[in-house]
Structure 1
């Protein structure tokens, strides 16, 4: 369901790096110091496998703790993943996993038994959805949602889900970056959503991982794996080791509203309030976003924008396409004041705008 392709997960990098660093330290000891140097080297060599075993034990503890909260979701002819959100049987997943389906077959990690579930609500703008199991099977438990604001580059994370239909699979990596803004494609079932503040990870994310769990070594879900990067220069083939997860904070914000109200009532997503399209210059290069329609009472309406205007900048962000406008808005919040730059009848103008809510 993601834009990624199959790729092989590598050997656990952190274990190898730790072992190499310790052996390197031992190799740097003074060979002329005699017995003390030899003892230091022996101590370092003994510490390396102990450290590796400790890390392996951490992996196994987290996997045993979290897998009972990870499920496989069958929506029509497609497969994805989800996490059990509470003890009432609510399951959070991606909107592109549920697609247009209203009912689902859900398989748990412990029993392998297929259970019925129904859609509560889907929120494609953030590529999140909540479905509800008919009942909570034995051995299944709600996931622990972590604080994604505490996620740091370099942290070890595990991705759990059903890549290529292989249920209860686990891959490992690190947090490669935070605060990424990513726009999904619409092909392959994607929603076309532009999502801000995503967690980038080197853990392998393949089709079927979508909606699963990205967890830290405390067993907390810090994100929901959603898509993998592709390289247009290689025919949109997968870019290995570059995957993205929706941060746990946004997952909790959206899921709590759907569970409580049956829908998202406060998106937290900024909006300009226009229907628009990308325009190109004489060289057929993207040159801005033409306003087709302005909603009454919207931010754009109050700022004086009207159909025919071409937006070329929002705040400090250059606007050349619909995607660049969406990405600029994804980094802002409703109520933020900023400057919009646009052209009208060949003249460039600016206006202050107070952003609304999507």
Structure 2
């Protein structure tokens, strides 16, 4: 049987589900509608019996059911009804002009427009009638409708074509899915950790809330400006290894440190000096010049464009000024400690205590900033980030047997004004000088002030002939009570006070000869350093 080209498919009636009554309860097997001559009389309600399980899919029946035997008159054809549900992916093709019949619901069940529909048994009027299908759906065996003549209609089952993705699409999708999963895992883990902290009742700062602006004159600001110019120094030779600190003195590769840090490398062809910068780069260094009298040394590395630290005015420092010490204590590079200036003009002997020739006399700045072995040669800076001293020595408790101690809050630095003068001499000439007055001091004297020796020491006269002291009228046995108005009570105090000056400077000494006291002006001479 063929379907005309202009034919429209007719939906199989049946409402929304197989258990709903047909729209027309008086449909005849011929497919035509017949009306009764007299109004139908509703059948009496039968005795309620146990209802079958209601269908959750069917809407309520909203038309009364009449007995199937009531005669009807032939009238207009039945209007098309909504399609009956059928298996997904299946289309039933019905010839034009044919209206299939459906079994009517049992007349014993009254219509209930407000309650749920009751599933009714459907007779099988098509049993034994042959039919054909085109296409199948797994697990579905649809019952074909028949026309007025009982000729079976052809049921056409159309399966939707399944679409597949090629490998060209699948592989990128898999990669994207894996990447999304990885990102999701990371984000999820962080969110989970935050959730755990929140569940534990711990306060969590929002992202970016801890950002703090550091002022340039804060410790963090000072450290940020100083650290790139501070270096670590290691000396390796036949006598062992030594470590210390230093900093950039000039941008063309000149560095400054303590003499006692590199002392064993002087004159040794097998000793190496390695300088490590803050970025971890290393350079071999050579000695430009050194002096044991001031415990200073200048090194040179083959690097250009370094950032030098500024040398401040150490004469402007006062007790109580905040300071920052930077260096590599015990090899821990980039260590920053803070404190204040605890005292000024402390006479300190630095260098190797076992060798008197390497003893340095420093008119030192005292600080309580933590300074430990390895800090030697590193800078002590003020609140402006300017170098006011080079860390050189620490005090040890009386009676201590340890030759290598830690900080007890008493550290000492060479004043920057001394560093400026001596380092400049070492760069220019490779050696340095220091000022003298031309006298020998009596280390055995215990009275007020310091006394000029009365005896010859190691072939040297107490007062140098035609020296500054002799020209000023100082004699053996005189007692020097003050220098430039500052009292002195120890020979080292007078020595460091004089060495803090520059050759050619004039100082005023308050001198006592016998029972008389006087001020004398002395022009300082110079002597080469060791």
Length-normalised TM-score, structure 2: 0.48
Residue of structure 2 aligned with 1:230, choices 373, 396, 415: 396
- Does 1:89 find its partner at 2:258? no
Cα distance in 1 for partners of 2:426, 2:340 equals: 30
Cα separation, 2, equivalents of 1:227 and 1:95: 12
Structure 1 unmatched ranges of 5 or more: 1-49
Partners of 1:164 and 1:241 lie apart in 2 by 17
Distance change >3 Å, CA 287–CA 314, structure 1 → 2: closer
- Structure 2: how far apart are the matches of 1:136 and 1:219? 23
Superposed displacement of residue 296, structure 1: 3.0
Give the Cα–Cα distance (whole angstroms) in 2 for the partners of residues 126 and 82 of structure 1: 15
| Displacement after TM superposition at 1:192 (Å) | 2.9
Q: Which residue of 2 aligns with 1:241?
A: 409
How much has 1:116 moved relative to structure 2? Answer: 1.6
Question: Match for 1:192 among 338, 348, 359?
Answer: 359
Structure 2: runs of 5+ lacking an equivalent: 1-209
Tell whether the 8 Å contact from 1:109 to 1:167 is kept in structure 2 after alignment: no
Task: Using the TM superposition, give the Cα deviation of residue 159 of structure 1 relative to its aligned residue in structure 2, in angstroms.
Answer: 0.8
Q: What is the deviation of 1:121?
A: 1.5
Aligned CA distance change for structure 1 residues 60 and 104 (closer, same or farther; 3 Å) = farther
Give how far 1:221 is off: 1.9
Q: Is the 8 A contact 2:390 2:413 kept in 1?
A: yes
Contact 2:442-2:453 at 8 Å conserved across structures: yes
Between stretches 55-64 and 290-299, larger displacement belongs to 55-64
C-alpha separation between the residues in 1 aligned to 2:496 and 2:428? Answer: 29
Match of 1:144 among 307, 310, 318: 310
Match of 2:125 in 1: none
Structure-2 change in CA distance of 1:321 and 1:143 (3 Å) = closer
* 1:313 match: 480
Deviations along 1:90-137, whole A, 9 cap, x unmatched? 11112222225236523323343432212111122222221111x127
Mapped to 2, the partners of 1:320 and 1:152 lie a distance apart of 22
| Equivalent of residue 453 in structure 2, options 269, 278, 290 | 290
Any idea what SS the aligned residue of 1:164 has?
helix
Shift of 1:207: 1.1
State how far apart, in whole Å, the 2-side matches of 1:319 and 1:144 are.
32
C-alpha separation between the residues in 2 aligned to 1:275 and 1:323?
Answer: 12
Matched residue SS, 2:225:
helix
Provide the rounded CA distance (Å) in 2 between the counterparts of 1:147 and 1:226: 18
- Superposed CA RMSD in Å reads 3.8
Q: CA deviation at 1:356?
A: 2.0
Shifted more, 185-194 versus 67-76: the winner is 185-194
- Equivalent residues of 1:83, 1:91 under 8 A apart: yes
- Verify: 1:326 aligned to 2:326, yes or no: no
2:337–2:370 Cα contact (<8 Å) kept:
yes
Q: CA 1:58–1:263 in structure 2 vs 1: closer, same or farther (change >3 Å)?
A: same
**What residue number does 1:71 align with?**
231
Question: Per-residue deviation at 1:258?
Answer: 2.2
* Displacement of 1:209: 0.6
Which residue is 2:98 aligned to?
none
Q: For 1:88 and 1:216, how far apart are their aligned partners in 2?
A: 24
| 1:164-243 correspondence runs (5 A) | 164-177=330-343, 179-184=344-349, 186-187=352-353, 191-196=358-363, 198-232=364-398, 240-243=408-411
User: Structure 1 residues 255, 60: CA separation in 2 closer, same or farther (over 3 Å shift)?
Assistant: same
- Give 1 or 2: higher strand fraction: 1
Going from structure 1 to structure 2, the CA distance change for 1:101 and 1:181 (only over 3 Å counts) comes to same
Does residue 160 of structure 1 match 2:321? no
Q: Looking at both structures, which has the greater relative contact order when contacts are Cα pairs under 8 Å and sequence separation is at least 6?
A: 1
Q: TM-score, normalised by structure 1?
A: 0.68
Give the drift of 1:183. Answer: 2.1
Change (3 A) 1:253 1:274: same
Q: SS where residue 426 of structure 2 aligns?
A: helix
Contact 2:256 2:296 in 1 (8 A): yes
Query: What residue in structure 1 maps to residue 101 of structure 2?
Result: none
Q: Is the 8 A contact 1:67 1:109 kept in 2?
A: no
Q: How far 1:203 moved relative to its partner?
A: 0.8
Residue of 432, 438, 445 corresponding to 1:264:
432
Matched residue of 1:143: which SS?
coil
C-alpha spacing 1:317/1:285, structure 2 compared with 1 (3 Å): closer
Point out the structure with max Rg over C-alpha: 2
Of 340, 344, 347, which residue of structure 1 is paired with 2:511? 340
State the Cα deviation string for residues 202-221 of structure 1 (Å, max 9, x = none). 11011111110112343322
Alpha-carbon distance, 1:61 to partner: 3.1
Shift in CA distance, 213/262, structure 1 to aligned 2, threshold 3 Å: same
State the SS of the aligned residue for 1:62: helix
Query: How far apart, in 1, do the equivalents of 2:233 and 2:224 lie?
Result: 20
Greater helix content: 1
Contact 1:279 1:290 (8 Å CA) reproduced: no
